[in-house]
């Protein structure tokens, strides 16, 4: 019997009687990270990494939450469960499940480059690996972090020289904190939108060093003209931006790799930045597990499955409801479809 099967509620472990990142209410849920497509309200009991507690409680309220450190193992109904670094956002974890000598790992979302704001990805040896494929096409190859921030700093400094603010749209959980960790704060003041600052507080409480931030209402007009402004994409074209009378805007996302996406977003600049693995990262992560059986979820499933099969691996798709999160890279933007989700895995026959 498979250790994890697809049920209407989510990915289910029959032996342990629990779910991983379920999208419908269940009794027991293991949560890989606090993005809203993976962490939802209504579950009876939550298990997550200790560094996810702040974001989970901020987003889900007063939940019945149990936490683990990375590598700490617990037993449940004869199944050994442990959490391991995914390198996606603060507290993100891969779920290792062991039962009767069989080991499966569900990765959640992950990236391989160490961004300095969360524990770096760790390849976990297993027999079966469940991997995301948000950016599972060979075209997706991220610039190294020093190159990315040099580009952002140049754009900001040029705007300061021209007397205008720099509005950078970025998702409030993950990307905003990466930017605050990596930009050159000596260029000017940094302003954060109200949706971003509570999550900055969670990162700071966890010991992550972020650049100082300010509220726009507390600043003088001359200061605002020199500011880097971090705001979620939902702030675009809203009255909140009117206080920045003159500004250049940009968008930070993995989708900026695609030709035409910046134009569709209606921004001046695009920075290729993602908290998900790019194509080389996906292949390296999968290879690092040593798994011979691979299940692929949300993203360019058919492309990655086909490539893995060509390498002699047993690969197929898991249909899930991940990838629709407004605080993550989410699905491909309109007009940039990157492949339909495969439905090659039959639902658990018991449901």
Strands, DSSP E only, in the chain?
5-7, 10-13, 18-20, 28-30, 45-49, 65-68, 73-76, 79-85, 93-99, 102-106, 128-133, 165-169, 190-192, 228-231, 247-253, 269-272, 293-299, 314-317
The average pLDDT across 126-146 equals 96
Q: Are residue 173 and residue 199 in the same domain, yes or no?
A: yes
Domain co-membership, 133 together with 164: no
Asked if residue 62 is part of any domain, the answer here is yes
Do 235 and 153 share a structural domain? yes
Q: Which domain holds residue 204?
A: 145-272
User: Hey, is 285 helix, strand or coil?
Assistant: helix
pLDDT of residue 269: 94
What CATH number corresponds to the domain at position 264?
Answer: 3.40.50.10890
* Residues in CB range of 304: below 8 A, 6 or more apart: 131, 133, 136, 282, 296, 315
Is the pLDDT reported for residue 340 higher than 50?
no
Mean pLDDT over 143-149 rounds to 96
Tokens of 208: 């992550």
Mean pLDDT, the chain, integer:
91
> Mind listing the pLDDT tens digit for each residue in 266-308?
899 999 999 999 999 999 999 999 999 999 998 889 999 999 9
Percentage of the chain with pLDDT > 70? 91
In angstroms, the CA 201 to CA 198 distance is 5
- In 171-328, beta strands by DSSP E: 190-192, 228-231, 247-253, 269-272, 293-299, 314-317
- Give domain status of residue 351, yes or no: no
Query: Per-residue pLDDT for 265 more than 80?
Result: no
Does residue 341 surpass a pLDDT of 80?
no
Taken as a whole, the chain contains a residue count of: 351
Does position 318 have pLDDT exceeding 90, yes or no? no
pLDDT tens-place string over residues 191-228: 999 999 999 999 999 999 999 999 998 999 999 999 99
Given 249, 272, 295, the domain boundary residue is 272
pLDDT of 326 > 60? The answer is: no
Q: pLDDT (tens digit, 9 = 90+) per residue, 305-314?
A: 999 999 999 9
* 3-state secondary structure at position 328: coil
Report, as an integer, the average pLDDT of 178-186.
Answer: 98
Based on the fold, state whether residues 235 and 297 are members of the same structural domain: no
Residues 80 and 124: beta-carbon distance below 8 Å: no
CB atoms within 10 A of CB 275: 29
Domain count, the chain: 2
pLDDT given for residue 262 in this prediction = 66
- How many other CB atoms sit within 10 Å of the CB of residue 171? 27
Residues 250 and 296 in one domain: no
Residue 245 is predicted with a pLDDT of 84
Band of residue 343 on the pLDDT scale cut at 50, 70, 90:
very low
* Among the ranges given (26-40, 83-97, 331-345), the one the predictor scored with the smallest mean pLDDT: 331-345
pLDDT in tens, 60-115: 999 999 999 999 999 999 999 999 999 999 999 999 999 999 999 999 999 999 99
Confidence (pLDDT) at 344: 32
Neighbouring CB atoms inside 10 A of 239's CB total: 7
pTM recorded for the entire structure: 0.91
């Amino acid at each position: 019997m498979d250790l994890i099967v697809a049920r209407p509620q989510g990915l289910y472990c029959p032996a342990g009687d629990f779910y991983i990142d379920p999208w419908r209410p269940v009794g027991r849920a293991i949560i890989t990270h606090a993005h809203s497509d993976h962490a939802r309200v209504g579950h009876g009991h939550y298990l997550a990494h200790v560094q996810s507690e702040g974001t989970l409680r901020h987003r889900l309220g007063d939940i019945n939450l149990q936490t683990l450190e990375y590598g700490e193992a617990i037993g449940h109904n004869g199944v050994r469960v442990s959490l391991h670094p995914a390198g996606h956002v603060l507290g993100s974890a891969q779920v290792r499940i062991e039962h009767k000598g069989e080991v499966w790992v569900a990765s959640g979302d992950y990236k391989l480059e160490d961004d300095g704001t969360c524990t770096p990805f760790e390849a976990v040896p297993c027999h079966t690996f469940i991997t995301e494929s948000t950016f599972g096409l060979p075209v997706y190859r991220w610039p190294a972090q020093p190159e990315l921030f040099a580009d952002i700093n140049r754009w900001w400094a040029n705007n300061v020289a021209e007397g205008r603010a720099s509005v950078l749209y970025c998702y409030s959980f993950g990307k905003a904190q990466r930017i605050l960790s990596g930009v050159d704060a000596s260029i000017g003041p940094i302003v954060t939108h109200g949706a971003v600052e509570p999550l900055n507080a969670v990162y700071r409480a966890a010991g992550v060093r972020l650049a100082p931030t300010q509220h726009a209402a507390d600043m003088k007009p001359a200061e605002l003209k020199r500011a880097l402004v971090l705001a979620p994409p939902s702030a675009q074209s809203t009255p909140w931006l009117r206080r920045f009378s003159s500004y250049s805007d940009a968008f930070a996302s993995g989708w900026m790799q695609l030709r035409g996406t910046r134009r569709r977003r209606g921004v001046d600049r695009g920075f290729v930045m993602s908290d998900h693995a790019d194509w080389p990262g996906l292949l390296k992560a999968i290879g690092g597990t040593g798994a011979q059986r691979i299940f692929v979820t949300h993203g360019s499933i058919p492309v990655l499955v086909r490539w893995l099969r060509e390498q002699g691996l047993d690969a197929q798709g898991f249909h899930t409801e991940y990838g629709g999160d407004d605080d993550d890279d989410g699905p491909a933007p309109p007009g940039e479809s990157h492949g339909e989700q495969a439905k090659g895995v039959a639902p658990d026959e018991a449901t």
